[in-house]
Structure 1
Amino acid sequence: MRFTNAPARRSGVALSCGTIIVNPSRQILLCHATGLHCWDIPKGVRHDDETPLEAARRELQEETGLAFGQQLFEDLGCFSFQPEKALYLFKLRSPSALRSLAHLRCTSYFVDRATGRPMPEMDDFRWASRSDITTLCPVPLARRLLALSW
């Protein structure tokens, strides 16, 4: 079980690294953020000793249980995201074995303030089409995702 830490920062800007997994129907994998009403892609803040790809792969594994070789990740680049956060994205084509999401599990936890119990960062997974993004994702993420080709 891994608990999240405070974000590593450089020059006042945290770098969040994430992966857009695209299935053959051109839908992307979204993860539901526990306790919130929004969905997200697997992503998180890069540690000082990691490259953006290493951070994206680590976050993908922690938040979904999925692990893929680095050669499968397409570098989409770094984007402005929020006032104090940049977003480095990678794209990965979903293998056919990923049709079902029932086996996905988040192993990254936070302590729930109300109960004091550990809770997974992500508690559900789904495929989403472009038309779903604006209703499921926070505005800054939705804008970024919809500006990309997938």
Structure 2
Amino acid sequence: MSVHSAGIILYRFIESKLQVMLVHLGGPFWAKKDDGAWSIPKGIYEKDEDPLAAAKREFREETGREVDGMFIDLGEVKQPSRKIVHAWALKHDFDTSKIVSNLFRLEWPPKSGSIQQFPEADRAQWFEVQEAREKILRGQRTFLERLIVQLGYTPENAGASHYFE
């Protein structure tokens, strides 16, 4: 049985350049990693749960903020872990300095018997889409590509200030 996860990727345009908001994965494993250590805010949902409602809940849990609006369905992608992620995009500005993530418990250091708490997301940041391709987890890059296609965004039309604003 596959595990299903749902998430939301925020996007905006600054000087007509497409930016996406990603969260850095929390916990000691990811602490010193940067490229390939960022994700869309997402989490697991149950079979009988509405995936978009779950994505909104997970966004709130990982950022401390609620979002709503006209969502763009980016479909599903099977991750290397075999987890199936369903994502939506939403045009929305967001102050990344104010995220407050929920916590998870982990024995750390391993086999120490000491249980510590870590945030699921330790920070959030806006990235221009080209840089986001390097930062995001490899299995989630497809969502960036689908967003670019849905928006009809290309680096050539990014300079047209009237195009996306």
**Normalising to structure 2: TM-score of the pair?**
0.72
Shift, 1:66, TM fit? 1.5
Residue 17 of structure 1 aligns with which residue?
6
Residue 124 of structure 1 aligns with which residue?
123
Between the two proteins, what is the percent identity of the paired residues? 26
Alpha-carbon separation, structure 1, partners of 2:131 and 2:71 = 24
Alpha-carbon separation, structure 2, partners of 1:43 and 1:78 = 13
Alpha-carbon separation, structure 1, partners of 2:65 and 2:140 = 21
Please, what is the CA RMSD of the aligned residues? 2.0
- 2:75 aligned with 1:80, yes or no? no
| Structure 2 residues not aligned, in runs of 5+ | 152-165
The 3-state SS of whatever aligns with 1:148 is helix
The residue type paired with residue 109 of structure 1 is: F
Aligned residues: 135
Provide closer, same or farther for how the CA distance between residues 126 and 83 of structure 1 changes in structure 2, counting only shifts above 3 A.
closer
| Structure 1 residues not aligned, in runs of 5+ | 1-11
The 3-state SS of whatever aligns with 2:123 is strand
Q: Deviations over 1:42-76 (max 9, x none)?
A: 0111124421011100110000012023x432322
The residue type paired with residue 125 of structure 1 is: A
**Normalising to structure 1: TM-score of the pair?**
0.78
Alpha-carbon separation, structure 1, partners of 2:122 and 2:81 = 27
Structure number with bigger Rg: 2
